Amino acid sequence: MEAAEGRRHVRLVTYRGSEDIPLLCSLIERDLSEPYSTYTYRYFLDSWPQFGLLAMESTTSGASKTAEGEVRDECIGCVVCKLDRSRHGVLRGYIAMLAVRHDRRQSGLGTLLVETVLMKMHESGCEEVVLEAELSNRGALALYEKLGFVRDKLLEKYYLNGSSAYRLKLKMNRRSDSMLFADMDEDAYT
């Protein structure tokens, strides 16, 4: 999937291997409040590489070229996920990390990353998707709720920094690709 933006070119790429880890680490460490070890990235990306997406941007300006004149890609967004069976046998997706570089927020890139990974999960037979979002992260909460996620549970002091989070859930609709997400209300998960 590609999007051209002026002299910038953004493309989504599936995780390609360990060479992508430093790109993800740099972005996530800068833009998320929760620290992660390299082991955490490897756990998700080595086990479920198809659900790791990077938004790579290249520009035609001289600032993004190497000394040899080659165009250099920059990672400006990513999503890291997994897909496995819950203890109740439900094929459940989990969005572990979503990060968009600060200067690229409000551009639709986060929505594009999440929609793309949700479609991949849907194609793999996913029945529901869960994630946690920091209570104070209004942008993330708005993005996920716009995509149909509902607040399932308040998790007090969930993060290492003492912040609370909401667990969000999305039921996937199996009827057709044109009706990907089920119309659910908050009472549907109780």
- Model confidence over 146-157: pLDDT tens digits? 999 999 999 999
Reported as a single tens digit per residue, the pLDDT across 89-103 is 999 999 999 999 999
Show Cβ contacts of residue 68 under 8 Å, excluding neighbours closer than 6 positions. Answer: none
2-189 falls under which CATH superfamily? Gcn5-related N-acetyltransferase (GNAT) (3.40.630.30)
Please report, for the chain, the start and end positions of each structural domain, with discontinuous segments joined by +. Answer: 2-189
Which of the pair, 54 or 28, is modelled with greater confidence? 54
Average pLDDT of the chain? 83
CA angle 127, 132, 135 (to 5 degrees): 140
- pTM of this prediction? 0.82
User: Are the beta carbons of 143 and 108 closer than 8 angstroms?
Assistant: no
